[in-house]
Amino acid sequence: MLTINKTAEKSHITIALQGEVDASNSVELDEVIQEALDDNIKNILVDGTDLQYISSAGLGVFMSYLEDFNEHNILFIIYGLNEKVMNVFHILGLDQLITIIDSREEAEKLVHEA
Amino acid sequence: MVKLPQIQRGKIYILLAVLSWMGLLLVNLIRVFGEINQMEGVISKEITWVLEILFFIWLYIYFNDSIKKNENRNFIDFIWRPASTGLIATGTSFLIIFFYYLLGDSRLSKDLLLMNFFYHVNFAVVSIFLISTTLSWKHLILYQKSKAIVQQWQAYEVILLISMFFVLISQASFNYGFMFGLIFLIIYGAILSINLKWIPYLTFREKWKSILFMVIIIACTVYLFFRLVSYTQQNIHFVNLSENLFLLGLFVFVLLYAVFSLLVTLFNLPTSSVFEQKLTEAISFQKLSQSIKPGENEEQVLDILMDSCMSAAYVDAGWLELHPSEPEESSKIQLQKFISNGERQEVLELLRKVEPFASYLTKRSGIKKEYLYGQIPHETYKSVLLLSVSVNKKSLGDIFLLKEVKDGFNKEMINIITTFVGQTSISIENHRLLNEAIKNERYREELEIAQRVQRSLLPSELHHNNSFEIDGFSAAADEVGGDYYETFRFDNENFALIIGDVSGKGTSAAFNMSQMKGVFHSLVQLNLSPKIFLSKANSALSRCLEKNNFITTTYYTINTSMKEIHFARAGHCPTLFYSQGKGCSRFLNIKGMGLGIVRNEGYENYLEEGYLKYQPGDVMVMYTDGIVEAKNQENQEFGYDKLRLLLDQYKALSAREIKSKIVDEVYDFVGRETLPDDDYSILVIKFNA
């Protein structure tokens, strides 16, 4: 089960993921990110506080947008991941490519600095 | 052994019958001649009786035989035969009377010998008529026979046989014994005569024919009886051939059965059409319920349905409107029967205005009832029945049935038609299910092939030397999976080892896995360092993997003489290593990045190369994320810690045993009954020297 909440704020949007991302629902995640890209949003935060599990298909979604983020100078930050999910990002090496930080405050700080 | 052909048997019976008749004639002529000339006791009466009995028996056998050959004739034939025989017998009798009329008062007309001859001719034709008719009746009585009826008939035949000989026992005419025998025969014949099961199967026309023939038979029987009696009364000199229980019994039986049949047929006439209708309905139903055979299509079944509905309710016109399978298409009119396009449009216009049809036709909402029935103010068609044919709860089309009379459809008609429609739905549904099943079967076969091919992608034997043991296990969640491991031997001391996991699972993962195998075999020959190997693999795979696909892998090179291992990790689960020296297991966590994630030259920067020296007793466990992410019913993951503790526990066992223990543990954790939702693979190396 995956619930995605998208909240737009002045400087950025926050995509909150709740539950599990797997092969069956990774498309939903993909759609949300694609939407944000289409809307020309420059700062995208992903709230992973309630993300319990992410499968390789879910990781594939983030991975497939890395180039787009670089190209369009988009700040893409994931925050609040629990240890287990963080470990998944870490093992794959995605933490070297995506800014993954602990808290929302830090994330917002980064957005303001940019 | 000489075998007599079938045809000759009948001829022999005829010949024997004729011979006994001629013998009978001769004997009686001689007796009459003797009586005229006052010679007494020339020939005893017994000889006459015996010859008569023989004649009966041969005739009976002959007709029994000839009817058996024609078992498959229809009922009318079985009635026509006795009727025609009766006519011939009657005709013969009339000819004799006509002959005497021509003779007038001449001396010849008073001649007893000639009269006796004609008496015998008359007797012969009557016997032929009675016996052949009896055997026709036998066939009709035994239609749809039960054991009881067959036994009854056999008993009757025995009684008839006994009755032939009765004359030998008691020669006094019409004594009590004779009367008792006759009454018994009459009652028994009457009981047999209630077996009239063939009558309902006659069509209306056939029933009329049957009535006509029965009348002929009854008339002939009655006439012939009185004719024979009058002969006997006129000529006291003759031996009374007709005073035989057998002959009289047959007279009664033939007459009774004919009368019974006549009456029953007569009373069956009014209901005949109903019976016929039910029969056609049963046949229609059978046609509809037979599943569509290969080569036939749904339209043929719908055609049968239309015909069946129309004949079941005497429908004057009708059509079938097939709903489009795609919303954009328009409805297709099919199987338009006895109605022109113009009239159909007129009726449809009216239907759109008249309830209960209007709400259904305009809204196109599903019929809640099985049918809609109502009247329309059309000049030709007054009553309309509208039925919806649906397959798998999806409407296939509507059937419109029109009748020229008001209130043309009664409850029974509607019942039978809805049954037809229901059966058709089932037939079509079965047909579709069957087609689907065939298609699925084909897919399944394809998948099985894919499975076999993929199994062959995993090595059946893993390269090693005496310094270490190695054992592996792999199970796919679906028919095919995305896990991969392989070994390679450079020389006796140098080996390469790879374990990998393709993102996603199932068929797409399996395709990518086979690409990975190709890349491995191409690059491994170059004997590259693990870091360079992965960097080149990344470059190769970046060109073939889809945008959101990646592969995680760890590549190892092992040198058994130096006892050293070089490895690099491309985003794959960290290797678990048990060190004999330290006495505990740990994960070899080095920096790494999955293949296909960074698709440019910068990839190498994200890699790190690991190096370690091993000792005898060390164990290396390589696995895919399916193992550590395996979930139990409480949604807890198997996890890294559990795996590490397991190795600590079983490190002393052989590589094969360690592997089995871990695999068992994972399956126990998940629950044996639950299907795995990811591919599991594990590879265990134990260093011995």
In this predicted model, which residue has the larger pLDDT, B192 or B392? B192
E strands, chain A, where? 2-8, 13-21, 43-54, 75-79, 99-101
**B4, part of any domain:** no
Report the pLDDT averaged over residues B294-323. Answer: 82
pTM for the predicted model, two decimal places: 0.57
Mean per-residue pLDDT, B238-260: 85
Distance of alpha carbon B265 from alpha carbon B167, whole angstroms: 37
Q: Do B345 and B232 lie in a common domain?
A: no
Quick one: DSSP state of residue B595?
A: B
Is the CB of B597 less than 8 angstroms away from the CB of A93? Answer: yes
Closest partner CB to A96 (pick from B547, B593, B637): B593
Are B402 and B374 a contacting pair, CB within 8 Å? no
Q: B27-39, pLDDT tens digit by residue?
A: 888 888 887 777 6
CATH number at B404 reads 3.30.450.40
The answer to whether residues A88 and A59 touch, using CB atoms and an 8 Å cutoff, is: yes
Sign of CA dihedral A56, A27, A77, B635: negative
Q: Which residues of A touch B629 (CB under 8 A)?
A: 53
What is the pLDDT at residue B5?
A: 58
Residue B218 structural domain: 74-274
**For chain B, percent of residues with pLDDT exceeding 70:** 94
Domain A2-113 has CATH 3.30.1330.10: no
Tell whether B496 is covered by a domain.
yes
Instruction: Note whether A92 contacts B504, CB cutoff 8 Å.
Output: no
Q: How, if at all, do strands B317-322 and A99-101 pair?
A: unpaired
pLDDT at residue B283, rounded to an integer: 81
pLDDT of residue B449: 86
Q: pLDDT by residue (tens digit) across A76-109?
A: 999 999 999 999 999 999 999 999 998 888 888 8
CB B318 within 8 A of CB B400: yes
Whether residues B468 and B336 fall in one domain: no
Confidence of residue B687 (pLDDT cuts 50, 70, 90): very high
Q: Give the other-Cβ count within 10 Å of B605's Cβ.
A: 12
Look at residue B452 and tell me if it is in a domain: no
Banded pLDDT at B173 (limits 50, 70, 90)? low
Q: Domain residue spans in chain A?
A: 2-113
Same domain, B267 and B367: no
Instruction: Read off the pLDDT of residues B563-588 as tens digits, 9 standing for 90 and up.
Output: 999 999 999 999 999 999 999 999 99
User: Quick one: B601 and B673 in the same domain?
Assistant: yes
Nearest residue in chain B measured CA to CA from A53: B629
Do residue B650 and residue B527 come from a single domain? yes
Say if B367 falls within a structural domain.
yes
pLDDT in tens, B473-518: 998 887 778 888 999 999 999 999 999 998 877 788 888 888 999 9
Note whether residue B394 is domain-resident. Answer: yes
Q: Return the closest-CA partner of residue A80 out of A5, A3, A15.
A: A15
Average pLDDT value for residue range B169-191: 81
Whether B199 is in a domain gets the answer yes
Same domain, B584 and B517: yes
For the stretch B328-341, pLDDT in tens is 666 777 778 888 88
Q: Give pLDDT, residue B641.
A: 93
Chain A residues touching residue B679 (CB < 8 angstroms)? none
Pairing of strands B609-613, B564-570: antiparallel
3-state secondary structure of B682: strand
Confidence of residue B435 (pLDDT cuts 50, 70, 90): confident
Write the single-letter amino acid at B231: Y
Measure the CA–CA gap between B506 and B679, rounded to whole angstroms. 9
- Of residues B335 and B591, which shows the higher confidence score? B591
| Structure tokens, A77 | 């930050």
Give me chain B's average pLDDT, please. Answer: 86
Determine the Cα angle at B9 with ends B249 and B241, to 5°: 30
The C-alpha atoms of residue B21 and residue B51 are separated, in whole angstroms, by 7
Residue A66's CB is within 10 A of a number of other CB atoms, namely 16
E-assigned strands of B236-381?
Answer: 317-322, 332-337, 371-375
B504 and A94 within 8 Å at the Cβ level: the answer is no
For A54, name the nearest residue in chain B, comparing CA atoms only.
Answer: B629
Chain A environment of B572 (Cβ under 8 Å): 91
Which whole-number Å values give the CA distances from B503 to A54, B172, B654, in the listed order? 12, 114, 31
Residue B624, judged by CB atoms within 10 A of its CB (0-12, 13-18, 19+), counts as buried
Check whether residue B493 and residue B533 sit in a common domain.
Answer: yes
Domains held by chain B: number? 3
Tell me the DSSP string of B153-198.
Answer: HHHHHHHHHHHHHHHHH--STT-HHHHHHHHHHHHHHHHHTT--TT
What are the tokens at B142?
């035994």
B46 inside domain: no
Q: Match 């008939």 to its residue by tokens.
A: B153
* pLDDT for the residue numbered B171: 63
- Taking the CA of residue B347 as centre, how many other CA atoms within 13 Å lie in the half-sphere pointing to its CB? 23
Residue A11 distance to chain B (closest CA, Å): 28
Query: Considering the domain boundaries, does residue B21 fall inside one?
Result: no
- Same domain membership, residue B466 and residue B394: no
Q: Which residues contact A23 (CB under 8 A, 6 or more apart)?
A: A55, A57, B504, B505
List chain B residues with CB under 8 Å of A53: 629
Here the tokens at position B554 are: 């760890």
Does the complex come out with an ipTM higher than 0.95? no
- Quote the pLDDT of residue B361: 75
Q: What angle do CA B66, B67, B73 make, to 5 degrees?
A: 125
Distance CA B356, CA B375 (A): 9
pLDDT in the model for residue B624: 93
Beta partners for residue B685, in sequence order: B470, B620
Q: Is the pLDDT of residue B174 over 70?
A: no
CATH number of residue B595's parent domain? 3.60.40.10
